[in-house]
Chain A
Amino acid sequence: MVVKGRVLVEGSAEGPLLRLTAPLSFWGGVDPKTGRISDPRHPQHGADVAGTVLAVPVPRGSSSSSAIMLELIARGIAPAALLLGEADAILALGIVVAGEMGHRTLPALQIGAEELAALPQCRIKVAADGTVTALP
């Protein structure tokens, strides 16, 4: 399966899909020291975002989520790629600032909600042109 996303932040990456099944505020929801989802009410509570292709259908919550994204990147425990169901100037901005600060960035794509939902639970490859491939 191959889908094409709008490139928010360019880059290529590969990793297992981690799909959020409920909105998640990174601030208060992801521990910036461990990369684990720390909101006890979230369905993916306890999951580790590091190295995953993180699918975020609906961004939510605090504007400090940019800072959590930057901190995850600076500590080397960020997702490998970010697939956003809606354009969002909060998480992607954390990646832009990380680039300004000389950190290695990660690709972020905007992908239609239906295509995002249709991605199978497997390893996902993200290419620099925004192509997303589900690996066998």
Chain B
Amino acid sequence: MRVRLAAAEQALLEGAHGPAAAMAMRIVSEAARLMGATSLVPVESAHLDGCLYHGDSGVHFAERIVELGGKVAVPTTLNVGALDFHHPGRVKFDPATAEMARRLMLASEAVGARATWTCAPYQAGHRPRLGAHVAWGESNAVCFVNSVLGARSNRLGDFLDLCCAITARAPCYGLHLDEARRATLVLDARDLSAELRSLDAFYPVLGAVLGSEAGSAVAAVLGVPKGTDEDRLKALGAAAASTGAVGLFHAVGVTPEAPDLDAVLGGVPAARTTTITPAMLRAARDRLSTAATADRIDAVAVGSPHFSAAEFRALAALARGQRFRVPFYACTGRAQLAEIEREGLLAPLKGAGVEIILDTCVVVAPILPPEAGVLMTNSGKFAFYAPANTGFATVYGSLADCVASAAAGRVKRDERLWS
């Protein structure tokens, strides 16, 4: 199957807009061929995940694009980098690695993207409209933009997101098409108690179940309460995109494309319906904790995806009057930090012992104490990636559990609603 290019796309390919755009168009059309797409779709915005240092090869690619004169053609935000520019020394890279990480971040800015440096661009002013075609990278960001905002993006790999931003095109397949946005699975959480479903700690665990049940399929989730806020949906999607390749879920009655179950199934019976039992949920929660010890913690980390202003307000309320005994890292972006600074929340948070990690996060850069130990988190995504990326074992708990444990210097979890 050949990819049919429109005249303007063919011109890009032939170098009408310079060698960087031509290279980007070669990569975009090659990606289309890989996926069996026969055309490209114009996109309105992009979010780039390629700015995190994984090795010199990625730096060389970004610098090649810059040398060839590459510029983004649509509004574009940047995902996290590997350095915290505001707190030098906090990321403990050797000087050579830090220099390469810095070069990648500078090259990412040089293509004309906004220096948002956040994995929650949707909470930093980048909110595509319902139905908009966009080209986003980073698995949680893609899951949110599709599910919660109802815009349309596939899960783009690093490099392809940049190439789409430069060409203002994406391969037209998958989640750009109505058919692929239909749910084929149903995940029914309605048997779980309303109290459990009212907890913040429920949503990452539900997401972990969703990811392992759905894989890359689109699921309709029943039992998410009406009015569930977007931070909970963000946590749900981030966990689902970690344990599975979930790019879109529909919370029936909550997310914009899912007014009811019939609408998301599109008149086709679901291939599978799974009823989530309390035992399944407990098992998924237990898999998020890998620590062998019962009560030891060495650090706490929150903010994956990056903490929103609303999450900081909740943390500030819980941390009032506390003094943490272990390092407590809260990862966020510049826009979210500016908001809580304006509200005067930063000083009391720091007073309790909260360390703000800006532009990056603790599982993508060496920030945690050098002696690996036990990391407590309220994030399904941190819990999933921390063991391999940091060497820390994990304990999963609610935000309130994290604060209570940091203050006590040992694990304190409220188990009542999970039993």
Contacts and interface: CB of A to CB of B under 8 A. Distances in A.
Given A89-B35, A89-B171, A94-B157, A63 B54 contact: no
Interface size class of A (residues with CB under 8 A): 35 or more
A97 B388 contact: no
Interface stretch (B57-65, B181-189, B278-286, B305-313): B57-65
Contacts of A41: 290, 387-388
B245 A60 contact: yes
B317 to A, nearest CB: 32
The interface centre, meaning the residue of A25, A32, A40, A97 with most chain B CB atoms within 10 A of its CB, is A97
A66 B215 CA distance: 19
Contacts of A61: 139, 241-242, 245
Contacts of B389: 28
Contacts of A28: 363, 385, 388-389
A68 B27 contact: no
Interface string A48-61: 00000000001111
Contact of A27 (B30, B54, B60, B171): B54
B150 interface: no
A66 B245 contact: no
A71 B57 contact: yes
B158 A64 contact: yes
A47 B31 CA distance: 29
A41 B394 CA distance: 13
Nearest to A74: B57
B26 A100 contact: yes
A25 to B, nearest CB: 8
Nearest to B136: A63
A127 interface: no
Interface in B126-155: 137-139, 142, 154-155
Contact of B159 (A8, A29, A60, A97): A97
B40 interface: no
B330 interface: no
Contacts of A65: 157
Interface string A83-125: 0001111111110111011010000000000000000000000
B52 interface: yes
A113 to B, nearest CB: 12
A6 B412 CA distance: 53
Contacts of B55: 32-33, 67-68, 70-71, 74-75
B23 interface: yes
A71 B158 CA distance: 12
A38 B385 CA distance: 11
B49 interface: yes
A90 B60 CA distance: 19
Interface string B373-389: 00000000000010111
A62 interface: yes
B205 interface: no
Given A32-B55, A87-B36, A63 B60 contact: no
Contacts of A71: 54-58
A43 interface: no
B139 A63 contact: yes
A89 B171 CA distance: 10
Contacts of B57: 67, 70-71, 73-75, 98, 101, 103
A9 B385 CA distance: 29
Contacts of B54: 27, 32, 64, 67-68, 71
B34 interface: yes
Contact of B49 (A58, A64, A68, A75): A64
B242 A67 contact: no
A77 B301 CA distance: 33
Nearest to A60: B245
Contacts of A89: 31, 34-35, 154, 156-157, 160, 171
A61 to B, nearest CB: 7
B50 interface: yes
Interface in B155-184: 155-161, 171
A86 B161 CA distance: 21
A23 B142 CA distance: 20
Contacts of B237: none
Interface of A: 8-9, 23, 25, 27-29, 32-33, 38-41, 58-68, 70-71, 73-75, 86-94, 96-98, 100-101, 103
Given A62-B242, A67-B54, A90-B155, 9 more contacts: A23-B215, A60-B216, A63-B137, A63-B155, A70-B58, A86-B216, A92-B34, A97-B159, A100-B26
19 contacts: A23-B245, A28-B363, A39-B387, A39-B388, A59-B216, A63-B49, A63-B142, A63-B161, A68-B55, A70-B58, A73-B57, A74-B56, A74-B60, A88-B34, A89-B34, A89-B156, A89-B160, A92-B34, A93-B31
Interface of B: 23, 26-27, 30-31, 34-36, 49-50, 52, 54-58, 60-61, 64, 137-139, 142, 154-161, 171, 215-216, 241-242, 244-245, 290, 363, 385, 387-389
